[in-house]
Structure 1
């Protein structure tokens, strides 16, 4: 089997679990005496908004459990890991349905945003709540008897709160219809990225995998001085947050530097007034005259003004700054990963090497 075929088979197996949990959720909903029209609506909401993306976040739960256990998973282990993966995907769907309304977005994953369907409209607000509630229904049914059930609840609640904090800062910093670059800075960008993206996209899947793999809160490892206490969840966080920040900075850079053929879309961060790493780096490097050009041209729905901003980014050497940043951050991450002392039933370097390998020097 080729790597492409193996990848497709892996995705198909994961999607098969979605069909089971979707039917389970809809059956429970119908069992509450809901009318047929509402049952169909809920099923359509789940089908339209949950399974259509890349599924990287969800499938990484399963991948991480396999790495931590160091073997192929039993059928029950796979099912439980995949359910947690789909809980992460449900959280993502909840955020995206709401985010698309806040941003007045047009399309999502190659189809109209859910709220833009004529029959849906503002009902999408309640639909987003139902996607979130489905997470806790699944956790209750499948994990309530597990000793780590409360930890899973805490993890999903805390991560949701963190993401919503980041979303608020992003919304008030960079509204599409009001450009004010005085609110932008690399520090503000970092705060938005860590809270809005890194916690739920990177830490959440790994923490889910650690909990289902029964990784303890602390354990002891051999050290030069005798022994040392490891707090694996804190250690994972210390690697995954900078990894998530790197991923988003890379995304911001590709929006500016990548071609539509390369990244599969036309970059819109400049015209959309995004608080991206690229513009924040430009603000830091710009002379007073260059800053004035940015103030007058950034965040405008105007192709000529967009060209002027892109030309300024080139003039400021953003490509070189990014290349230097990438090598520096990857060097730091590799060092931190390399320092992990592996023990049985503990963290494995491969968990983080796998994430880093997928991201480093990606072009789309």
Structure 2
């Protein structure tokens, strides 16, 4: 699906801003010692992937509020990619994920480095520790990149409040996600709460708010962006949940069924358990979260999810949230290219064709 030319160009500007920032930061790490070079290699590889979705929504929040197309907004918005990279690194450690964006996850990279050099101690522990530290570094750098974006202090002050709130919400959402996976009998309502705080707000609503705040957007505009962004964020994550079970690994960058092996108590799983027979529910409870789950086990779970109607119910929920977002956008005080771009992004976020 084609994007507007401005969105495509902005993604290139985000890539350039990230490359320039890391290029400025790298000498500082190497001045400490060559031992830091694997850190640079790992973060460069991680940042080379991604759809730049959060910067795009930040940019169009800025444009919707009357902001001009200036280089400084690309740098400020690109800092969200460092925040996202930090969250991904930590998330992969917590989920024991082997891959990310079609390549080894960061903690697996450092685990392999330890094994390659036959260093003392446990390779897995070293890999996890190194990844946590790199995630922390990326989190710190996200704030630094935002603050050195070149936008005036008064604009950054308005945006800083949103940025701080977004970081708080995503950490709380991550904890709720981890907590939900440890509890038996999770409900659709509790799973939706995780979606809201771990993904919906962080991926779409808050980036829109950030861009609008930086441009001095009105309270009316912010409220309309919430009406559009929050349900779209919910639909986005629900689509991600479906892809985590039924998606093509060449498209998702992760092995098929990884969410099942990790035991994620998603909305898709909650909807399935609501509709499952006792026998089906017993099978789900037995297989979900097994790190050694075979392809046959993945197939069995997929069949139960489909047969119970859990998949169909999730697709219906995605459609409902997407419709809610489009309806809110139609009534929003957003015009011109910003309206066109946000319409395109709504389709891309729910179909996941970036």
Give the alignment's TM-score, normalised by structure 1: 0.79
Q: Identify the residue that residue 187 of structure 1 maps to in structure 2.
A: 189
Contact 1:62–1:81 (Cα < 8 Å) also in 2: yes
Cα distance in 1 between the residues matched to 2:39 and 2:249? 35
How many residues align structurally?
335
State the Cα distance separating 1:246 from its structure 2 match: 0.9
Contact 2:163–2:210 (Cα < 8 Å) also in 1: no
State the Cα distance separating 1:243 from its structure 2 match: 1.1
Contact 2:260–2:288 (Cα < 8 Å) also in 1: yes
Partner SS, residue 22 of structure 1: helix
Tell me which of the two structures has the higher relative contact order, counting C-alpha pairs closer than 8 angstroms and 6 or more residues apart: 2
Contact 1:254–1:363 (Cα < 8 Å) also in 2: no
Partner SS, residue 84 of structure 2: helix
Q: Identify the residue that residue 49 of structure 1 maps to in structure 2.
A: 46
1:319-334 alignment runs, 5 A limit: 319-334=311-326
Contact 1:271–1:302 (Cα < 8 Å) also in 2: no
Cα distance in 1 between the residues matched to 2:273 and 2:14? 44
Q: Note the residue ranges of structure 2 that are not aligned, 5 or more in a row.
A: 115-125
Say yes or no: does 1:266 pair with 2:256. Answer: yes
Tell me the alpha carbon deviations over residues 169-220 of structure 1, each in whole angstroms, 9 at most, x when there is no partner. Answer: 1112215xxxx532x211111111111112221123212321332213x3xx
Contact 2:76–2:149 (Cα < 8 Å) also in 1: no
Partner SS, residue 181 of structure 1: coil
State the Cα distance separating 1:67 from its structure 2 match: 5.2
Partner SS, residue 359 of structure 1: helix
Q: Identify the residue that residue 255 of structure 1 maps to in structure 2.
A: 244
Say yes or no: does 1:99 pair with 2:91. Answer: yes
Give the alignment's TM-score, normalised by structure 2: 0.80
State the Cα distance separating 1:68 from its structure 2 match: 4.7
Cα distance in 1 between the residues matched to 2:287 and 2:154? 56
Distance 1:215 1:299, change over 3 A: same
State the Cα distance separating 1:315 from its structure 2 match: 2.0
Contact 1:61–1:82 (Cα < 8 Å) also in 2: no
1:57-136 alignment runs, 5 A limit: 57-66=54-63, 68-69=65-66, 73=69, 77=70, 79-116=71-108, 117=110, 118=113, 121=127, 122-136=129-143
Q: Note the residue ranges of structure 1 that are not aligned, 5 or more in a row.
A: 219-229
Tell me the alpha carbon deviations over residues 240-282 of structure 1, each in whole angstroms, 9 at most, x when there is no partner. Answer: 1221111111122233344446656523222321112221101
More helix by percentage: 2
Partner SS, residue 142 of structure 1: coil
Q: Identify the residue that residue 285 of structure 2 maps to in structure 1.
A: 295
Contact 2:271–2:310 (Cα < 8 Å) also in 1: yes
Distance 1:245 1:134, change over 3 A: same
Distance 1:233 1:287, change over 3 A: same
